[in-house]
């Protein structure tokens, strides 16, 4: 394996309009190291970075406009303060010998691709009363995600965990059972999040995150830890993470749920 390239090497070896992702990654890492956790975590929600030359001259730096593509429900968390921190960090990490800078950042929501029955989906997603339960998932065709008890799930692992949680709910005494909220919107300090499951039990609230294969990517663990801290600061007693790569049987999921509930009441 070759040595990792520095940001300066990347910028020298590639057209500048193609290095936005690496530039943002370096800036977000700097923000995290400086303690600007909110801005660093928000930067991880950018799904694509496009750079466009905005101002150029023979005797001045080339100014670029950065276009951040994000999911529509996440646009509001890119406040002026957060964007200023990200912009300053991008200026700080750019190699000094590179005569470029970010002049401004524009946040662009992902443009959805409508399906043939988009009218029905939109009406169903809103329903007779507003709801924040899996709003993004509800806009997808129903044959692309599991549904049970009028609750929507992102994937088969979340659905499998729900089956175990529901069985445990039925087995507990009526006056000591659990509440199960999958994919409910939660406003935390500086951002809006969607925990996979919010669980209430004996006067306590806990969160279960179902970690898929993408959680093995470099830097993901530190981001998850920062998100967990935001929830702890907001009153969540315990955050349990179910790694789908380590779970092969229903019995293992049942043990995870038992351990999670026991840990929750001890907090």
pLDDT at position 78 is: 92
Instruction: Among 49-53, 59-63, 217-221, name the most confident range.
Output: 49-53
The candidate with the shortest Cα–Cα distance to 147, out of 173, 121, 128, 171, is 121
pLDDT per position as a tens digit, 169-207: 999 999 999 999 998 888 888 778 889 999 999 999 999
Does pLDDT of 216 surpass 50? no
Provide the whole-model pTM. Answer: 0.55
pLDDT per position as a tens digit, 90-123: 988 886 656 677 888 999 998 776 667 777 766 6
219 pLDDT band (50/70/90 cuts)? Answer: very low
* Average pLDDT value for residue range 16-30: 83
pLDDT at position 71 is: 85
pLDDT at position 8 is: 59
pLDDT per position as a tens digit, 118-145: 777 666 665 555 566 666 666 566 667 8
pLDDT at position 150 is: 85
6 pLDDT band (50/70/90 cuts)? Answer: low
265 pLDDT band (50/70/90 cuts)? Answer: very high
């Amino acid at each position: 394996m070759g040595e990792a390239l520095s940001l300066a090497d990347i910028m020298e070896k590639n057209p500048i309009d193609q290095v936005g992702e690496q530039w943002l990654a370096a800036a977000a890492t700097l923000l995290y190291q400086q303690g600007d956790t909110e801005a660093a975590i928000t930067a991880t929600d950018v799904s694509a970075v496009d750079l466009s030359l905005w101002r150029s001259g023979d005797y001045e730096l080339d100014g670029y406009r950065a276009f951040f593509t994000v999911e529509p429900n996440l646009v509001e968390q890119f406040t002026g303060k957060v964007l200023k921190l990200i912009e300053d960090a991008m200026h700080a990490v750019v190699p000094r010998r590179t005569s470029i800078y970010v002049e401004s950042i524009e946040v662009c929501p992902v443009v959805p691709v409508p399906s043939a029955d988009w009218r029905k989906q939109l009406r169903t997603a809103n329903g007779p009363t507003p709801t924040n339960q899996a709003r993004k998932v509800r806009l997808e065709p129903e044959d692309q995600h599991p549904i049970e008890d009028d609750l929507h799930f992102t994937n088969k692992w979340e659905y499998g965990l729900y089956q175990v949680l529901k069985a445990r709910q039925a087995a507990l005494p009526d006056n000591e059972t659990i509440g199960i909220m999958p994919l409910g919107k939660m406003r935390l300090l500086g951002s809006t999040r969607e925990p996979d499951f919010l669980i209430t039990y004996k006067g306590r609230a806990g969160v279960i995150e179902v970690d898929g294969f993408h959680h093995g990517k470099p830097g993901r663990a530190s981001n998850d830890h920062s998100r967990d801290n935001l929830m702890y600061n907001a009153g969540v007693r315990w955050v349990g993470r179910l790694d789908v790569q380590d779970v092969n049987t229903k019995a293992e999921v049942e043990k995870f749920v038992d351990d999670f509930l026991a840990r929750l009441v001890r907090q």
